[in-house]
Amino acid sequence: MNQHSSLNRTIIQKLKTITGKVLVSDADRISYAYDATNLHYLPDAIVFPENQEQVSNILSLAQEAEFPVVPRGAGSGLTGGSLPVKGGLLVVLTRMNRIISIDMDNLVADVEPGVVTGIFHKRVQSMGLFYPPDPSSSAYSTLGGNVAECAGGPSAVKYGVTRDYVLGLTFVIPGGDIVQTGVRTAKGVVGYDLTRLLTGSEGTLGIITQMTLRLLPHPKCVQTLVVFYASMHKAAENVSKIIRKGLIPKTIEYLDHAAMACMPLDFPGGIPDEAKSMLIIEMDGAPGQVHTDIQDVIALVTESQAISVTKAENSLQAQSIWQARKAISPALYRYAPDKINEDIVVPRSLIPDFVDKVDELRHATGLTMVTFGHAGDGNIHFTVMLDKNDPVAKKKADTVIESIFDYTLALGGTLSGEHGIGITKSGYLYKELNPGEQYLMKQIKKAFDPKGILNPGKIFPEP
Protein backbone atom coordinates (compact mmCIF):
# COMPACT_ATOMS: atom_id res chain seq x y z
CA MET A 1 0.00 0.00 0.00
CA ASN A 2 1.16 3.53 -0.77
CA GLN A 3 2.91 4.90 2.32
CA HIS A 4 1.28 8.29 1.69
CA SER A 5 -2.17 6.70 1.49
CA SER A 6 -5.17 8.28 3.17
CA LEU A 7 -6.21 4.72 4.01
CA ASN A 8 -4.40 3.41 7.09
CA ARG A 9 -4.36 -0.23 8.24
CA THR A 10 -7.36 0.28 10.49
CA ILE A 11 -9.46 1.61 7.61
CA ILE A 12 -8.31 -1.19 5.31
CA GLN A 13 -9.37 -3.73 7.92
CA LYS A 14 -12.78 -2.08 8.27
CA LEU A 15 -13.21 -2.15 4.47
CA LYS A 16 -12.37 -5.86 4.50
CA THR A 17 -15.07 -6.37 7.09
CA ILE A 18 -17.55 -4.57 4.83
CA THR A 19 -16.69 -6.12 1.44
CA GLY A 20 -14.66 -9.22 2.29
CA LYS A 21 -11.73 -8.23 0.10
CA VAL A 22 -9.62 -5.13 -0.51
CA LEU A 23 -6.98 -4.92 -3.25
CA VAL A 24 -3.87 -2.95 -2.23
CA SER A 25 -0.95 -4.52 -4.12
CA ASP A 26 0.97 -2.40 -6.60
CA ALA A 27 -0.09 -4.69 -9.47
CA ASP A 28 -3.79 -4.35 -8.61
CA ARG A 29 -3.58 -0.61 -8.09
CA ILE A 30 -1.84 -0.14 -11.44
CA SER A 31 -4.50 -2.30 -13.14
CA TYR A 32 -7.21 0.10 -12.01
CA ALA A 33 -5.27 3.33 -12.45
CA TYR A 34 -6.51 4.16 -15.94
CA ASP A 35 -9.55 4.54 -18.16
CA ALA A 36 -10.05 5.04 -21.91
CA THR A 37 -8.27 8.42 -21.78
CA ASN A 38 -4.96 6.54 -21.22
CA LEU A 39 -4.30 8.83 -18.26
CA HIS A 40 -3.11 7.18 -15.04
CA TYR A 41 -3.80 7.92 -11.37
CA LEU A 42 -3.12 5.30 -8.69
CA PRO A 43 -5.87 4.49 -6.19
CA ASP A 44 -4.77 3.55 -2.69
CA ALA A 45 -7.13 0.58 -2.60
CA ILE A 46 -9.91 -1.06 -4.62
CA VAL A 47 -13.12 -2.73 -3.42
CA PHE A 48 -15.93 -4.54 -5.25
CA PRO A 49 -19.20 -4.12 -3.32
CA GLU A 50 -21.91 -6.64 -4.07
CA ASN A 51 -24.94 -4.82 -2.72
CA GLN A 52 -26.35 -1.47 -1.66
CA GLU A 53 -25.71 -2.08 2.03
CA GLN A 54 -21.99 -2.45 1.40
CA VAL A 55 -21.93 0.80 -0.62
CA SER A 56 -23.73 2.55 2.24
CA ASN A 57 -21.25 1.24 4.80
CA ILE A 58 -18.31 2.30 2.61
CA LEU A 59 -19.60 5.87 2.29
CA SER A 60 -20.39 6.02 6.00
CA LEU A 61 -16.80 5.06 6.80
CA ALA A 62 -15.44 7.46 4.17
CA GLN A 63 -17.38 10.39 5.62
CA GLU A 64 -16.15 9.56 9.10
CA ALA A 65 -12.49 9.05 8.13
CA GLU A 66 -12.56 11.67 5.31
CA PHE A 67 -10.90 9.70 2.53
CA PRO A 68 -11.72 10.08 -1.19
CA VAL A 69 -14.10 7.61 -2.84
CA VAL A 70 -14.29 7.22 -6.62
CA PRO A 71 -17.05 5.10 -8.22
CA ARG A 72 -16.10 3.10 -11.32
CA GLY A 73 -17.83 0.86 -13.81
CA ALA A 74 -15.95 -0.64 -16.76
CA GLY A 75 -13.48 2.25 -17.03
CA SER A 76 -14.54 3.06 -20.60
CA GLY A 77 -15.01 6.79 -20.02
CA LEU A 78 -13.26 9.30 -22.25
CA THR A 79 -12.84 12.30 -19.92
CA GLY A 80 -11.25 10.72 -16.84
CA GLY A 81 -14.43 10.63 -14.77
CA SER A 82 -13.53 7.40 -12.97
CA LEU A 83 -9.87 8.19 -12.35
CA PRO A 84 -8.76 8.51 -8.68
CA VAL A 85 -6.96 11.82 -9.19
CA LYS A 86 -6.56 12.29 -5.43
CA GLY A 87 -5.93 8.65 -4.60
CA GLY A 88 -8.25 7.12 -2.03
CA LEU A 89 -10.66 4.24 -2.53
CA LEU A 90 -11.85 3.04 -5.92
CA VAL A 91 -15.32 1.47 -5.66
CA VAL A 92 -15.80 -0.83 -8.66
CA LEU A 93 -19.47 -1.63 -9.19
CA THR A 94 -19.22 -4.41 -11.79
CA ARG A 95 -20.36 -7.12 -9.33
CA MET A 96 -23.67 -5.33 -8.82
CA ASN A 97 -24.85 -6.61 -12.19
CA ARG A 98 -28.39 -7.95 -11.75
CA ILE A 99 -31.24 -7.26 -14.11
CA ILE A 100 -33.73 -7.30 -11.26
CA SER A 101 -36.97 -7.19 -13.22
CA ILE A 102 -38.47 -6.33 -16.60
CA ASP A 103 -42.10 -5.21 -16.42
CA MET A 104 -43.73 -5.97 -19.78
CA ASP A 105 -47.02 -4.30 -18.84
CA ASN A 106 -45.53 -0.95 -17.86
CA LEU A 107 -42.40 -1.08 -20.04
CA VAL A 108 -39.87 -0.49 -17.26
CA ALA A 109 -36.83 -2.39 -16.03
CA ASP A 110 -35.08 -2.34 -12.68
CA VAL A 111 -31.33 -2.89 -12.97
CA GLU A 112 -28.12 -2.56 -10.99
CA PRO A 113 -25.27 -0.28 -12.15
CA GLY A 114 -22.87 -3.06 -13.17
CA VAL A 115 -25.10 -4.49 -15.92
CA VAL A 116 -23.24 -4.35 -19.24
CA THR A 117 -25.21 -2.20 -21.69
CA GLY A 118 -24.96 -4.66 -24.59
CA ILE A 119 -26.20 -7.55 -22.41
CA PHE A 120 -29.19 -5.44 -21.38
CA HIS A 121 -29.90 -4.61 -25.03
CA LYS A 122 -29.98 -8.31 -25.94
CA ARG A 123 -32.15 -9.23 -22.95
CA VAL A 124 -34.86 -6.66 -23.67
CA GLN A 125 -34.73 -7.30 -27.42
CA SER A 126 -35.37 -11.01 -26.81
CA MET A 127 -38.60 -9.90 -25.14
CA GLY A 128 -39.63 -7.67 -28.05
CA LEU A 129 -38.51 -4.49 -26.30
CA PHE A 130 -36.05 -1.70 -27.07
CA TYR A 131 -33.66 0.37 -24.94
CA PRO A 132 -32.42 3.11 -27.32
CA PRO A 133 -29.24 4.54 -25.64
CA ASP A 134 -26.37 2.77 -27.41
CA PRO A 135 -22.87 4.20 -26.88
CA SER A 136 -20.04 2.84 -29.02
CA SER A 137 -18.72 1.11 -25.91
CA SER A 138 -21.97 -0.80 -25.32
CA ALA A 139 -20.25 -4.19 -25.60
CA TYR A 140 -18.42 -3.52 -22.34
CA SER A 141 -19.62 -0.25 -20.74
CA THR A 142 -22.07 -0.48 -17.85
CA LEU A 143 -25.49 1.06 -17.38
CA GLY A 144 -24.36 2.83 -14.20
CA GLY A 145 -21.57 4.54 -16.10
CA ASN A 146 -23.97 5.39 -18.93
CA VAL A 147 -26.30 7.10 -16.44
CA ALA A 148 -23.45 8.87 -14.64
CA GLU A 149 -22.24 10.34 -17.94
CA CYS A 150 -25.66 10.63 -19.62
CA ALA A 151 -24.46 8.56 -22.58
CA GLY A 152 -26.01 8.96 -26.00
CA GLY A 153 -25.44 6.98 -29.16
CA PRO A 154 -26.53 6.86 -32.79
CA SER A 155 -30.29 6.70 -32.21
CA ALA A 156 -30.41 9.90 -30.13
CA VAL A 157 -31.65 11.88 -33.15
CA LYS A 158 -35.00 10.08 -32.93
CA TYR A 159 -35.11 8.59 -29.43
CA GLY A 160 -33.07 10.86 -27.17
CA VAL A 161 -30.26 10.07 -24.74
CA THR A 162 -29.92 8.19 -21.44
CA ARG A 163 -31.64 10.87 -19.32
CA ASP A 164 -34.80 10.35 -21.39
CA TYR A 165 -34.99 6.73 -20.18
CA VAL A 166 -34.14 7.08 -16.49
CA LEU A 167 -37.40 7.15 -14.53
CA GLY A 168 -35.95 6.66 -11.07
CA LEU A 169 -32.73 6.05 -9.17
CA THR A 170 -31.54 4.68 -5.88
CA PHE A 171 -28.19 6.09 -4.80
CA VAL A 172 -26.02 6.47 -1.71
CA ILE A 173 -24.60 9.83 -0.63
CA PRO A 174 -21.54 10.50 1.55
CA GLY A 175 -22.37 9.50 5.10
CA GLY A 176 -24.19 6.39 3.89
CA ASP A 177 -27.75 7.65 3.52
CA ILE A 178 -29.74 5.84 0.81
CA VAL A 179 -31.85 8.11 -1.40
CA GLN A 180 -34.64 7.07 -3.77
CA THR A 181 -35.75 9.46 -6.49
CA GLY A 182 -38.15 9.48 -9.39
CA VAL A 183 -41.15 7.35 -10.28
CA ARG A 184 -42.18 4.18 -12.10
CA THR A 185 -44.86 6.00 -14.06
CA ALA A 186 -44.89 7.96 -17.30
CA LYS A 187 -45.54 11.20 -15.40
CA GLY A 188 -44.39 12.63 -12.09
CA VAL A 189 -43.66 16.22 -11.00
CA VAL A 190 -43.40 16.08 -7.21
CA GLY A 191 -40.55 18.30 -6.03
CA TYR A 192 -37.22 18.93 -7.71
CA ASP A 193 -36.15 16.40 -10.32
CA LEU A 194 -33.25 14.77 -8.47
CA THR A 195 -33.26 11.89 -10.96
CA ARG A 196 -32.25 14.23 -13.77
CA LEU A 197 -29.74 15.93 -11.48
CA LEU A 198 -27.94 12.65 -10.75
CA THR A 199 -28.04 11.61 -14.40
CA GLY A 200 -24.89 13.08 -15.92
CA SER A 201 -23.42 14.12 -12.54
CA GLU A 202 -20.30 11.98 -13.18
CA GLY A 203 -20.31 10.26 -9.80
CA THR A 204 -19.78 13.50 -7.89
CA LEU A 205 -23.08 13.57 -5.96
CA GLY A 206 -23.84 9.95 -5.11
CA ILE A 207 -23.11 6.33 -6.02
CA ILE A 208 -25.98 4.85 -8.02
CA THR A 209 -27.03 1.40 -6.80
CA GLN A 210 -30.24 0.82 -8.77
CA MET A 211 -32.01 2.33 -11.77
CA THR A 212 -35.55 2.19 -13.11
CA LEU A 213 -35.32 2.49 -16.89
CA ARG A 214 -38.01 3.18 -19.46
CA LEU A 215 -38.35 0.75 -22.37
CA LEU A 216 -40.09 0.92 -25.75
CA PRO A 217 -41.65 -1.73 -28.01
CA HIS A 218 -39.01 -2.93 -30.45
CA PRO A 219 -39.49 -1.45 -33.95
CA LYS A 220 -41.03 -4.01 -36.31
CA CYS A 221 -38.73 -3.06 -39.19
CA VAL A 222 -35.27 -1.47 -39.51
CA GLN A 223 -33.47 -0.72 -42.78
CA THR A 224 -29.91 0.56 -43.13
CA LEU A 225 -28.34 2.65 -45.90
CA VAL A 226 -24.69 3.50 -46.54
CA VAL A 227 -24.17 6.64 -48.65
CA PHE A 228 -20.82 7.89 -49.99
CA TYR A 229 -19.98 11.45 -51.05
CA ALA A 230 -17.14 13.19 -52.88
CA SER A 231 -16.86 15.86 -50.17
CA MET A 232 -17.37 16.20 -46.43
CA HIS A 233 -19.38 19.36 -46.92
CA LYS A 234 -21.90 17.62 -49.20
CA ALA A 235 -22.49 14.80 -46.70
CA ALA A 236 -22.96 17.30 -43.87
CA GLU A 237 -25.45 19.28 -45.95
CA ASN A 238 -27.53 16.18 -46.59
CA VAL A 239 -28.10 15.63 -42.87
CA SER A 240 -30.24 18.76 -42.61
CA LYS A 241 -31.92 18.10 -45.97
CA ILE A 242 -33.18 14.73 -44.76
CA ILE A 243 -34.66 16.19 -41.57
CA ARG A 244 -36.08 19.21 -43.42
CA LYS A 245 -37.99 16.85 -45.69
CA GLY A 246 -39.86 15.56 -42.64
CA LEU A 247 -37.96 12.28 -42.42
CA ILE A 248 -36.79 11.39 -38.90
CA PRO A 249 -34.25 8.56 -39.14
CA LYS A 250 -33.39 6.36 -36.22
CA THR A 251 -29.79 7.18 -37.04
CA ILE A 252 -27.66 9.43 -39.22
CA GLU A 253 -23.97 8.76 -38.63
CA TYR A 254 -21.29 10.85 -40.32
CA LEU A 255 -17.70 9.78 -41.12
CA ASP A 256 -15.00 11.81 -42.83
CA HIS A 257 -12.25 10.39 -45.07
CA ALA A 258 -9.81 9.84 -42.18
CA ALA A 259 -12.43 7.84 -40.25
CA MET A 260 -13.34 5.86 -43.38
CA ALA A 261 -9.70 4.86 -43.83
CA CYS A 262 -9.99 2.98 -40.52
CA MET A 263 -12.86 0.84 -41.76
CA PRO A 264 -12.14 -2.88 -42.33
CA LEU A 265 -11.23 -3.99 -45.86
CA ASP A 266 -14.28 -6.26 -45.96
CA PHE A 267 -16.72 -3.42 -45.26
CA PRO A 268 -20.04 -4.47 -46.85
CA GLY A 269 -20.23 -3.22 -50.43
CA GLY A 270 -16.73 -1.74 -50.31
CA ILE A 271 -15.69 1.92 -50.25
CA PRO A 272 -15.45 3.85 -53.54
CA ASP A 273 -11.96 5.22 -54.26
CA GLU A 274 -13.27 8.74 -54.80
CA ALA A 275 -15.31 8.83 -51.57
CA LYS A 276 -14.31 11.52 -49.05
CA SER A 277 -17.15 11.02 -46.56
CA MET A 278 -20.10 8.79 -45.80
CA LEU A 279 -23.41 8.64 -43.97
CA ILE A 280 -24.96 5.60 -42.31
CA ILE A 281 -28.73 6.15 -42.26
CA GLU A 282 -31.30 3.94 -40.57
CA MET A 283 -35.07 4.16 -40.69
CA ASP A 284 -37.30 2.15 -38.37
CA GLY A 285 -40.98 1.63 -37.68
CA ALA A 286 -43.83 -0.16 -39.46
CA PRO A 287 -42.58 -2.04 -42.57
CA GLY A 288 -44.67 -0.12 -45.10
CA GLN A 289 -43.65 3.27 -43.72
CA VAL A 290 -39.98 2.28 -43.49
CA HIS A 291 -40.01 1.17 -47.14
CA THR A 292 -41.52 4.49 -48.22
CA ASP A 293 -39.10 6.53 -46.09
CA ILE A 294 -36.06 4.63 -47.37
CA GLN A 295 -37.08 5.28 -50.96
CA ASP A 296 -37.50 8.98 -50.16
CA VAL A 297 -34.02 9.10 -48.60
CA ILE A 298 -32.47 7.29 -51.58
CA ALA A 299 -34.11 9.78 -53.96
CA LEU A 300 -32.92 12.76 -51.89
CA VAL A 301 -29.27 11.70 -51.57
CA THR A 302 -29.11 10.65 -55.23
CA GLU A 303 -30.44 14.06 -56.23
CA SER A 304 -27.79 15.59 -53.94
CA GLN A 305 -24.94 14.00 -55.91
CA ALA A 306 -24.12 11.05 -53.69
CA ILE A 307 -21.48 8.80 -55.28
CA SER A 308 -23.29 5.62 -54.27
CA VAL A 309 -26.15 4.40 -52.11
CA THR A 310 -26.27 0.85 -50.77
CA LYS A 311 -29.02 -0.76 -48.71
CA ALA A 312 -28.06 -3.52 -46.27
CA GLU A 313 -29.44 -6.78 -47.64
CA ASN A 314 -30.23 -8.29 -44.25
CA SER A 315 -29.75 -7.82 -40.51
CA LEU A 316 -26.34 -9.55 -40.55
CA GLN A 317 -25.01 -7.07 -43.09
CA ALA A 318 -26.44 -4.18 -41.10
CA GLN A 319 -24.74 -5.58 -38.01
CA SER A 320 -21.40 -5.69 -39.89
CA ILE A 321 -21.82 -2.05 -40.85
CA TRP A 322 -22.35 -1.07 -37.20
CA GLN A 323 -19.47 -3.21 -35.98
CA ALA A 324 -17.21 -1.36 -38.40
CA ARG A 325 -18.54 2.01 -37.20
CA LYS A 326 -18.05 1.14 -33.52
CA ALA A 327 -14.48 -0.03 -34.18
CA ILE A 328 -13.32 3.32 -35.56
CA SER A 329 -12.28 5.00 -32.32
CA PRO A 330 -9.70 2.37 -31.25
CA ALA A 331 -8.56 1.96 -34.88
CA LEU A 332 -7.46 5.62 -35.00
CA TYR A 333 -4.20 4.69 -33.27
CA ARG A 334 -2.87 3.60 -36.66
CA TYR A 335 -2.33 7.33 -37.29
CA ALA A 336 -0.39 8.18 -34.13
CA PRO A 337 0.29 6.91 -30.59
CA ASP A 338 -1.91 9.50 -28.85
CA LYS A 339 -5.27 11.13 -29.40
CA ILE A 340 -7.26 14.04 -28.07
CA ASN A 341 -10.89 13.02 -28.34
CA GLU A 342 -13.67 15.60 -28.03
CA ASP A 343 -17.44 15.24 -28.49
CA ILE A 344 -18.83 18.64 -29.30
CA VAL A 345 -22.40 19.34 -30.40
CA VAL A 346 -23.53 22.04 -32.82
CA PRO A 347 -26.95 22.81 -34.27
CA ARG A 348 -27.56 20.19 -36.95
CA SER A 349 -27.92 22.78 -39.73
CA LEU A 350 -24.45 24.15 -38.94
CA ILE A 351 -22.53 20.87 -39.26
CA PRO A 352 -21.28 21.93 -42.73
CA ASP A 353 -19.73 25.05 -41.16
CA PHE A 354 -18.08 22.92 -38.49
CA VAL A 355 -16.53 20.42 -40.92
CA ASP A 356 -15.28 23.32 -43.06
CA LYS A 357 -13.58 24.77 -39.95
CA VAL A 358 -11.92 21.42 -39.24
CA ASP A 359 -10.66 21.28 -42.82
CA GLU A 360 -9.24 24.78 -42.45
CA LEU A 361 -7.39 23.83 -39.24
CA ARG A 362 -6.19 20.56 -40.74
CA HIS A 363 -4.51 22.37 -43.62
CA ALA A 364 -3.16 25.16 -41.41
CA THR A 365 -1.47 22.84 -38.89
CA GLY A 366 -0.68 19.66 -40.81
CA LEU A 367 -2.10 17.61 -37.92
CA THR A 368 -4.18 14.49 -38.50
CA MET A 369 -7.77 15.31 -37.56
CA VAL A 370 -10.74 12.98 -37.70
CA THR A 371 -14.46 13.75 -37.48
CA PHE A 372 -17.23 11.22 -37.13
CA GLY A 373 -20.30 10.75 -35.01
CA HIS A 374 -24.00 11.26 -34.54
CA ALA A 375 -24.66 13.91 -37.14
CA GLY A 376 -28.42 13.49 -36.82
CA ASP A 377 -28.32 15.37 -33.52
CA GLY A 378 -25.24 17.49 -34.27
CA ASN A 379 -22.92 15.45 -32.04
CA ILE A 380 -19.50 15.21 -33.73
CA HIS A 381 -16.55 13.30 -32.30
CA PHE A 382 -13.58 15.49 -33.17
CA THR A 383 -10.22 13.80 -32.71
CA VAL A 384 -6.64 15.01 -33.09
CA MET A 385 -4.06 12.24 -33.55
CA LEU A 386 -0.50 13.06 -32.50
CA ASP A 387 2.57 12.06 -30.54
CA LYS A 388 2.26 13.96 -27.27
CA ASN A 389 6.01 13.65 -26.77
CA ASP A 390 6.45 15.98 -29.75
CA PRO A 391 6.23 19.46 -28.14
CA VAL A 392 5.51 21.19 -31.45
CA ALA A 393 2.63 18.86 -32.29
CA LYS A 394 1.27 19.08 -28.73
CA LYS A 395 1.30 22.88 -28.80
CA LYS A 396 -0.47 22.91 -32.17
CA ALA A 397 -3.05 20.41 -30.91
CA ASP A 398 -3.81 22.48 -27.80
CA THR A 399 -4.32 25.54 -29.98
CA VAL A 400 -6.61 23.57 -32.31
CA ILE A 401 -8.77 22.32 -29.41
CA GLU A 402 -9.10 25.87 -28.09
CA SER A 403 -10.14 27.07 -31.57
CA ILE A 404 -12.63 24.22 -32.01
CA PHE A 405 -14.23 24.88 -28.62
CA ASP A 406 -14.52 28.61 -29.30
CA TYR A 407 -16.01 27.97 -32.74
CA THR A 408 -18.44 25.39 -31.36
CA LEU A 409 -19.77 27.87 -28.81
CA ALA A 410 -19.94 30.61 -31.45
CA LEU A 411 -22.20 28.32 -33.49
CA GLY A 412 -24.50 27.93 -30.47
CA GLY A 413 -23.17 24.50 -29.55
CA THR A 414 -21.86 22.80 -26.41
CA LEU A 415 -18.49 21.35 -25.40
CA SER A 416 -19.72 17.88 -24.46
CA GLY A 417 -22.59 15.85 -25.83
CA GLU A 418 -22.14 12.52 -24.05
CA HIS A 419 -18.61 12.14 -22.62
CA GLY A 420 -18.97 14.52 -19.69
CA ILE A 421 -16.35 16.94 -18.32
CA GLY A 422 -14.28 14.80 -15.94
CA ILE A 423 -10.75 16.14 -15.81
CA THR A 424 -9.88 16.50 -19.50
CA LYS A 425 -12.42 19.27 -20.13
CA SER A 426 -12.56 20.94 -16.74
CA GLY A 427 -10.07 23.61 -17.81
CA TYR A 428 -12.51 24.74 -20.49
CA LEU A 429 -15.61 24.84 -18.29
CA TYR A 430 -15.41 28.63 -17.97
CA LYS A 431 -15.97 28.98 -21.71
CA GLU A 432 -19.51 27.63 -21.45
CA LEU A 433 -20.59 28.19 -17.84
CA ASN A 434 -20.46 31.65 -16.30
CA PRO A 435 -19.34 32.15 -12.65
CA GLY A 436 -22.94 32.33 -11.41
CA GLU A 437 -23.79 28.95 -12.94
CA GLN A 438 -20.63 27.38 -11.56
CA TYR A 439 -21.37 28.78 -8.10
CA LEU A 440 -24.85 27.23 -8.05
CA MET A 441 -23.47 23.89 -9.18
CA LYS A 442 -20.78 23.94 -6.50
CA GLN A 443 -23.44 24.69 -3.88
CA ILE A 444 -25.37 21.62 -5.06
CA LYS A 445 -22.19 19.55 -4.77
CA LYS A 446 -21.66 20.88 -1.24
CA ALA A 447 -25.22 19.97 -0.22
CA PHE A 448 -24.74 16.35 -1.31
CA ASP A 449 -21.09 16.03 -0.29
CA PRO A 450 -20.13 18.62 2.36
CA LYS A 451 -16.64 17.17 2.94
CA GLY A 452 -15.85 16.78 -0.76
CA ILE A 453 -14.96 13.09 -0.52
CA LEU A 454 -16.92 11.78 -3.53
CA ASN A 455 -15.02 11.73 -6.83
CA PRO A 456 -13.01 14.87 -5.98
CA GLY A 457 -11.21 16.87 -8.66
CA LYS A 458 -13.84 16.31 -11.34
CA ILE A 459 -15.86 18.77 -13.46
CA PHE A 460 -14.81 21.95 -11.66
CA PRO A 461 -11.23 23.12 -12.33
CA GLU A 462 -8.89 23.27 -9.38
CA PRO A 463 -5.72 25.33 -8.96
What CATH number is given to the structural domain containing 17? 3.30.43.10
Q: Is the pLDDT of residue 309 over 80?
A: yes
The identity of residue 35, as a single letter, is D
Task: Assign 265 a pLDDT band (cuts: 50, 70, 90).
Answer: confident
Both 317 and 241 in one domain: the answer is yes
What CATH number does residue 129 fall under? 3.30.465.10
Both 202 and 247 in one domain: the answer is no
Among 200, 177, 201, residue whose Cα is nearest residue 59: 177
Q: Is residue 357 part of a domain?
A: yes
Q: What is the mean pLDDT of the chain?
A: 95
Both 206 and 225 in one domain: the answer is no
State mean pLDDT over 5-27: 95
Torsion over CA of 354, 359, 365 and 367, rounded to 10 degrees? 100
Picking from 217, 249, 275, the residue at the C-terminal end of a domain is 217
Q: Is residue 397 part of a domain?
A: yes
Both 201 and 248 in one domain: the answer is no
95-114 per-position pLDDT tens digit: 999 999 999 999 999 999 99
Give residue 123's domain range: 99-217
pLDDT at residue 452, rounded to an integer: 97
Among 364, 382, 381, residue whose Cα is nearest residue 373: 381
pLDDT at residue 266, rounded to an integer: 87
Among 445, 214, 239, 200, residue whose Cα is nearest residue 355: 239
Both 143 and 66 in one domain: the answer is no
Task: Assign 5 a pLDDT band (cuts: 50, 70, 90).
Answer: low
Q: What percent of the chain has pLDDT over 70?
A: 99
Picking from 310, 329, 348, the residue at the C-terminal end of a domain is 329
Q: Is residue 441 part of a domain?
A: no
Picking from 165, 183, 217, the residue at the C-terminal end of a domain is 217
27-63 per-position pLDDT tens digit: 999 999 999 998 999 999 999 999 999 999 999 999 9
Task: Assign 6 a pLDDT band (cuts: 50, 70, 90).
Answer: confident
Both 212 and 109 in one domain: the answer is yes
pLDDT at residue 320, rounded to an integer: 94
330-348 per-position pLDDT tens digit: 899 999 999 999 999 999 9
Q: Is the pLDDT of residue 416 over 90?
A: yes
pLDDT at residue 3, rounded to an integer: 43
Which has the higher per-residue pLDDT, 265 or 252? 252
Q: Is residue 3 part of a domain?
A: no
Distance CA 195, CA 185 (A): 13
The identity of residue 425, as a single letter, is K
278-299 per-position pLDDT tens digit: 999 999 999 999 999 999 999 9
Q: Is residue 461 part of a domain?
A: no
Both 107 and 131 in one domain: the answer is yes
Task: Assign 11 a pLDDT band (cuts: 50, 70, 90).
Answer: very high
Q: Is residue 431 part of a domain?
A: no
Q: Is the pLDDT of residue 2 over 70?
A: no
Both 273 and 345 in one domain: the answer is no
Q: Is residue 272 part of a domain?
A: yes
Torsion over CA of 456, 394, 356 and 151, rounded to 10 degrees? -20
Distance CA 439, CA 141 (A): 32
Both 109 and 212 in one domain: the answer is yes
63-106 per-position pLDDT tens digit: 999 999 999 999 999 999 999 999 999 999 999 999 999 999 99
Both 225 and 325 in one domain: the answer is yes
Number of domains observed in the structure of the chain: 4
pLDDT at residue 4, rounded to an integer: 45
State mean pLDDT over 199-213: 98
pTM: 0.95
State mean pLDDT over 425-454: 97
Both 112 and 213 in one domain: the answer is yes
What CATH number does residue 290 fall under? 3.30.70.2190
Which has the higher per-residue pLDDT, 344 or 462? 344
- Spell out the SS3 assignment of the chain: CCCCCCCCHHHHHHHHHHHCCCECCHHHHHHCCECCCCCECCCCEEECCCCHHHHHHHHHHHHHHCCCEEEECCCCCCCCCCCCCCCCEEEECCCCCCEEEEECCCCEEEECCCCEHHHHHHHHHHCCEECCCCCCCCCCCEHHHHHHHCCCCCCHHHHCCHHHHEEEEEEECCCCCEEEEECCCCCCCCCCCHHHHHCCCCCCCCEEEEEEEECEECCCEEEEEEEEECCHHHHHHHHHHHHHCCCCCCEEEEEEHHHHCCCCCCCCCCCCCCCCEEEEEEEEECHHHHHHHHHHHHHHHHHCCCCEEEECCCHHHHHHHHHHHHCHHHHHHHCCCEEEEEEEECCHHHHHHHHHHHHHHHHHHCCEEEEEEEHHHCEEEEEEEECCCCHHHHHHHHHHHHHHHHHHHHCCCECECCCCCCCCCHHHHHHHCCHHHHHHHHHHHHHHCCCCCECCCCCCCCC
The identity of residue 14, as a single letter, is K
Both 70 and 111 in one domain: the answer is no
CB count within 10 Å of CB 84 equals: 25
What CATH number does residue 395 fall under? 3.30.70.2740
Q: Is the pLDDT of residue 188 over 70?
A: yes
Q: Is residue 463 part of a domain?
A: no
